[in-house]
Structure 1
Amino acid sequence: MKNPLQFITVEPVLLMYMTATLMMTPVLQQTIYYKLCYQFNNASICDNLGDYKHVEYEVQEQASRWYLYITVCISAPAIFISFFVGPWSDRVGRRLPMCLPPVGGLLYALSFLVQSLDQFLLTIPVEWTLVGALAQGFLGGYTVIILTTYSYLADVTTEENRTRRMSILTAMLTISGTIGLGVGGVLVDNFGFFVVFAVCMGLHVINFIYIWARLGEKKRDENSQVTHTKVDCSYVMNTLKVVTKVRPNKGRLHLILLFLCLFIYALCNTGVNEIAILFTKRTEIDMSNSNYGYWQAARNLVPALFLMLLLPILSRWFSDTTLAAIGAVSSVGMFELMAFSVNEAMLWATVAVGAFNGFLNGVLHGTMSKIVSDDEQGSMFSILSMLETVTVVVSAFIFNNIYPVTLPTFAGFPFMLMAIMFMVSLIFVVWIELSSPYAPKKVETTAAAPEIQLRERTASMRSVASG
């Protein structure tokens, strides 16, 4: 009887890393907030900040600025490092590069744990918050954990089951948000900041041990490993060649269009988080804080469940790009309904309409990995993870500037713009569906063939790891 655990590989890695990261996010924001207030004001003011509005606004402005600094310190080095880590992992394997982000996350959580202690909260200057952020950034952060986990899954899966496996991996991103934000709030309310940072450190330690003890490596050419372990600037060129390289059957154009589709997906879904709180606080809707939290949780969790439970079934009958088109249509409908929402009921309806929203993201990772060769997987996913990291800044710039301008005439215009962007993605995936040779081929042998191939590959990897 087959052991279902043999098919679990990097899913826990991404789940633990993102859970720890998202659990920390609101807590470190509060830590910075308190540090700034108490360092520049006396305790009586900070304990009754609501009575001193001018001080509250000043502290919020400073805290927002410092959180931006932290974001830049994490994102900028991670984008630079990923140029090298992607092609490097293609040559030396995924496991060592995959260990870097948990180490960075451990140092990041440790730096805030020390600063959250009562005796250090006021004595350590706020500038020291950037030290842990830089450690996180130079060890890859979110960018490297994404490229290494997806690349690893591309290594150990067959084309027949890759889409299903990558859709489950993608679902870990939204599930981790639900767990991290929910558990983090409970912990900080009952035990304080210190415990939250300690739990995050524990998750990163467990993650590191899991990667090193559980994950095997795909066999690679020994000569390639010896001659390419030195990291140099040629790695950057190898990464860029993934996009510029001429491929048969319009492969280069398909790859570029798929990059654009995933960029649009990340841009719009990040944009919702930028302006949704302001949109729902308008007099017409006036959603309470608790209801807003429930709505956001449902908006993340429902597409994740559809990815994990429904997409693996549908992928037996539909091609990757057809499933991506379903996701694009669902996204168009969701954002159009959101644009015209005038009450909470309409916003809750967007959860149902957008239930297939995650299909586009989950499916296209697998589609892209089928276009490039095995030794280009890390480079391809490094570009993709860099694009997703860049969208955080780009999305904030676009939608935070558009929303106040269109607010008096049509508050939902940013969401309508998102719907139009997804229409563009729909056009791209439909065209690729009509011209792509990358749809999975039907297996002529027994139905168990893909599973047998995967089991043999897993056994081979374990023998390499134990050897």
Structure 2
Amino acid sequence: VLKQTKMAKAERKNSEKDKDNKTKDAKAQKVSIDSMSWSQRYDFLMENITVEPMLACYIIPSVLASLATQNLNLEKACRVNLGYSKEVCDALTERRTQNYTFEEREVQQLVASMGVWKTMLQSALPAFLIMFVGSWSDRWGKRKPCMLLPIVGEFMTVVGLMICTFFFYELPMEVAGFVEGFFPAITGGWFTMFMGVFSYIADVTTIDMRTLRIGIVNVFCSLGIPVGLALSGVLYKKIGFYGVFSISAVMYVMALYYGWKKVKEPKKIDVPTLPNQPCAFIRDFFDVRHLMDTFRVAFKQGENNRKLKVMLLMLVVMVVIGPMHGEMNVAYLFTRYRFNWDEVDFSIFSTYSMVTNLIGTSVSVGIFSHILKIDDAIIGIYSSMSKILSSFVYGFAKTSLVFYLGAIVEILNGTSFIAMRSIASKLVPTDELGKVNSLFGACEALMPLVYGPMYSATYAATINVMPGAFYILGGILTVPAVLIFGWMYVQHKKDAVFANTKSDLESGSKPEETSVIADVILSTAPKQAQIGSPLMNGVKNKSSENGIIKEFTVTKKEDLKHVENGVINPAFEIEK
């Protein structure tokens, strides 16, 4: 008995010592990071940058070429499809529209009508492919192909647009629209890129750092968009279609090289093998069983209402991302018609808007999330509210000054995307993130199919009455995001209270040091006790048998039953 007692004491002390050492190491690591100088923090940041430069070199040329692409469509609609004279089209290009309001409206309506089927082309195929891509990425542990293929698609797009520019009068507007939509569609586009990026970030970071890393990625996106917008109008004026598309092509090559050489694929241990048969990769990639597995993993039951939360987050993706895609279709047309802006005016405003958005995102991630530790759901609430309020400012703006004030009101809008991604990454393990992110990507890819035609139709129907009605529509459709984030915050608080209560109960039921002897005696004692003995029903009994025990209390461990019928249950421990 004494020997077993000493061994039990030694094991318990070693266990407590290991736990204390781990706690000290974690605290020491935290202190060392917090005590870094600014230069050391900069070096630490540079060491942890992985996909961000590649993402910036993907986003900047995409945004840079977007304004030139819209103008190419407008020019072709005017000069080729509608066949207006050089005098009319030059006047529309130079924004001398006082005597050509009818022609301006006809050109915009033709471009908006093409936007309906172009949006379907850009969204339907990626929404289908991304379901298989996410499952394949999880099974094989491959994230880089999901990030590199969209870059190839964008490169092919700008090359195709240069060909459409060269054969300007031979190829109508619809050919340019097809080129703009087809190549990104077959390679996944932005949806597959972001699915790969966020799955990769989740693979290489801890849960505690995940919100910060997702925020950093979003900041790089926010940096890339204003840079591209700021340069788009100026470069288009200076160097035209060929210059803008050539610069975009060079940047895509840089992004492709960086992603291929610098981004390291996370290693996966249990990699499957392909069967030795023709077209094995194609059969494995498009296997419907993997598609069903994606739905099973995403919608399987789990603790803390996992299934319901995943479904609600998919709805958040729709109501947060949808208005953004819808506004991108008609915002430039709206400012041309309402404020008589040209390319430079629109690019200046877009840059200003993205800079304010970047400031709001940086404050939210750096201060609210990382320093103040504000819950992700709360960040999502005030971000969605910012979007709702700004939509009314934009919609009712009669002057450029009021329109600029809308960007100030919308300053926190970008963080709802971060909050949604962060919550999703903490709901599922890393080996299931690709499947869940693919579902989010599919929802995002489907949104242009819904919001693009909706916004285009709304703008076309209200252009003579209230051109900014589509902004108000977007604000109303964002309201469900506020309700969902609010519910998730309440659930998170309930889960935290439950976890703390459970932890307190577990810590309160730990036996004292003297209970080691009691455990040994109990384990070596007879397994039968008569009614009225000291071991009945956990009741303290001062009587004794054979002088072995003078006084003790039997306590119940969690989720186990009392001693019944005089039989000792091992779920009981003697405390004293």
TM-score (norm 2): 0.67
Pair 121,82 (structure 1): closer, same or farther in 2 beyond 3 Å: same
* Distance of aligned partners of 1:280 and 1:58 in 2 relative to their CA distance in 1, 3 Å threshold: closer
How large is the Cα RMSD of the aligned pairs? Answer: 3.6
* 2:57 corresponds to 1:27: no
Residue 320 of structure 2 aligns with an amino acid whose one-letter code is Y
Residue 274 of structure 1, CA deviation? 5.7
Does residue 320 in structure 1 map to residue 376 in structure 2? yes
Is 1:374 aligned to 2:430, yes or no?
Answer: yes
| Letter matched to residue 426 of structure 2 | K
**Which residue is equivalent to 1:263?**
318
* Structure 1 residue corresponding to 2:204, chosen from 156, 165, 168: 156
Mapped contact 2:137–2:143 kept (Cα < 8 A): yes
* Corresponding residue for residue 8 of structure 1: 49
Instruction: Kindly indicate whether the alpha-carbon contact (under 8 Å) linking 1:339 and 1:415 is maintained by their aligned counterparts in 2.
Output: no
User: 1:339-350 residue pairs with structure 2 within 5 A?
Assistant: 346-350=402-406
**Residue 195 of structure 1 pairs with residue 223 of structure 2:** no
1:25 positional shift? 1.8
Alignment of 1:346-357 (within 5 A): 346-357=402-413
What letter is aligned with 2:263?
Answer: L
- Structure 1 partner of 2:449: 393
CA distance in 1, matches of 2:480, 2:432: 29
Is the CA contact (8 Å cut-off) linking 1:155 and 1:218 kept in structure 2?
yes
Unaligned runs of 5+ residues in structure 2 are: 1-39, 93-98, 501-576
Post-superposition offset of 1:348? 4.1
Distance change in 2, residues 1:418/1:248 (3 Å): same
Match of 1:96 in 2: 145
Matched residue type, 1:235: H
Q: 1:389 to 1:176 in 2, by over 3 A?
A: farther
2:113 aligned partner, one-letter code: R
Aligned to 2:157: 108
Distance 1:363 1:373 in 2: 18
- Aligned partners of 1:195 and 1:440: how far apart in 2? 59
1:163 CA drift (Å): 0.3
- Corresponding residue for residue 182 of structure 2: 134
1:429 has 2:524 as partner: no
Is this contact kept in 2: 1:319–1:439, CA < 8 A?
no
Contact 1:187/1:196 (<8 A) preserved: yes
Judging changes above 3 Å, is the alpha-carbon distance between structure 1 residues 31 and 165 closer, same or farther for their aligned structure 2 residues?
same
For 2:249 and 2:498, the matched residues in 1 are separated by: 42
| Cα deviation digits, residues 347-404 of structure 1 (max 9, x gap) | 4444333322222211220210111121211121122122222222322344555675
Tell me how far 1:438 sits from its aligned partner.
12
Separation in structure 1 between the aligned mates of residue 189 and residue 472 of structure 2, nearest angstrom = 33
Say which structure, 1 or 2, has more relative contact order (CA 8 Å, 6+ apart).
1
Q: Shift in Å at residue 181 of structure 1?
A: 2.2
> Given that residues 168 and 307 in structure 1 are in contact (C-alpha distance below 8 angstroms), is that contact kept between their aligned partners in structure 2?
no
Partner SS, residue 192 of structure 1: helix
Report the alpha carbon displacement of residue 172 of structure 1 after superposing the two structures with TM. Answer: 3.3
Q: Which residue of 1 aligns with 2:169?
A: 122
Match of residue 552 from structure 2: none
Alpha-carbon deviations, 1:82-124, whole Å to 9, x = none?
111111111231012221111111111111112222xx22234
Task: Give 1:138 deviation, angstroms.
Answer: 0.7
2:543 aligns to what?
A: none
Alpha-carbon contact 1:27-1:184 (below 8 Å) kept: yes
Once residues 142 and 440 of structure 1 are traced to their aligned partners in structure 2, the CA distance between those partners, rounded to angstroms, is 38
CA distance in 1, matches of 2:103, 2:410: 41
Change (3 A) 1:401 1:109: closer
Q: What code does the residue aligned with 2:315 have?
A: L
Match of 2:272, SS state, is helix
Letter matched to residue 26 of structure 1: L
Distance 1:137 1:81, change over 3 A: same
8 Å Cα contact 1:104/1:139 also seen in 2: yes
Give the structure 1 partner of residue 560 of structure 2.
Answer: none
1-structure distance, mates of 2:136, 2:212: 27
Deviation at 1:260, TM superposition (A): 1.8
The residue type paired with residue 122 of structure 1 is: Y
Measured in 2, the distance between the counterparts of 1:339 and 1:222 equals: 53
Note the C-alpha offset of 1:35: 3.5
Where 1:191 maps in the other structure, the secondary structure is helix
C-alpha contact (below 8 Å) 2:391/2:474 kept by paired residues: yes
Match of 2:420 among 364, 368, 373: 364
Offset of 1:238 from its aligned partner? 2.5
Task: List per-residue Cα deviations over 1:255-285 (Å, max 9, x = no partner).
Answer: 22222223221123445556667877898xx
Matches within 5 A, 1:380-459: 380-399=436-455, 413-414=472-473, 417-418=476-477, 420-436=479-495
Taking a change above 3 Å as real, the CA distance of residues 281 and 367 of structure 1, as seen in their structure-2 partners, is same
Alpha carbons of 1:103 and 1:438: their partners in 2 closer, same or farther (altered >3 Å)?
farther
Cα deviation digits, residues 181-217 of structure 1 (max 9, x gap): 2212111111110111111111111111111111111
2:390 to 318, 331, 334: 334
* Residues 335 and 419, structure 1, Cα contact 8 Å, conserved in 2: no
Match of 1:306 in 2: 360
Give 1:416 deviation, angstroms.
5.3
Please tell me whether residue 165 in structure 1 is matched to residue 219 in structure 2.
no
Give the match for residue 251 of structure 1.
306
- Alignment check: 8 A CA contact 1:333 1:354 kept: yes
Secondary structure of 1:145's aligned partner = helix
1:213-232 equivalence runs, <5 A:
213-224=261-272, 230-231=284-285, 232=287
Residue 209 of structure 1: which of 253, 257, 270 is its match? 257
Contact in 2 for aligned 1:15/1:172 (Cα 8 Å): yes
* Contact in 2 for aligned 1:243/1:255 (Cα 8 Å): yes
User: What fraction of aligned residue pairs are identical, expressed as a percent?
Assistant: 22
Distance 1:299 1:131, change over 3 A: closer
Given the superposition, is the C-alpha separation of residues 236 and 438 from structure 1 closer, same or farther in structure 2, using an over 3 Å criterion? farther
2:392–2:475 CA contact under 8 A, matched in 1: yes
The worse-fitting range, judged by mean Cα deviation, of 155-164 and 349-358 is: 349-358
Q: Is the Cα–Cα contact under 8 Å of residues 321 and 432 in structure 1 kept in the other structure?
A: no
CA shift at 1:16, angstroms?
Answer: 1.9
User: SS at the partner of 2:291?
Assistant: helix
- Which amino acid in the other structure matches residue 208 of structure 1? L
What are the Cα deviations for residues 154-186 of structure 1, in whole angstroms up to 9, with x where unaligned?
111111110011122123333332222221211
- The Cα shift of 1:331 comes to 3.4
User: 8 Å contact 1:154–1:366 — kept in the other structure?
Assistant: no
- Residue 336 (structure 1) shift: 5.3
Change in 2 beyond 3 A, CA 1:111/1:397: closer
Instruction: Please give the alpha-carbon distance, in whole angstroms, between the structure 2 residues aligned to 1:237 and 1:436.
Output: 30
Shift in alpha-carbon separation, 1:352–1:3, aligned structure 2, 3 A: same
Which amino acid letter does the alignment assign opposite residue 424 of structure 1?
A: L
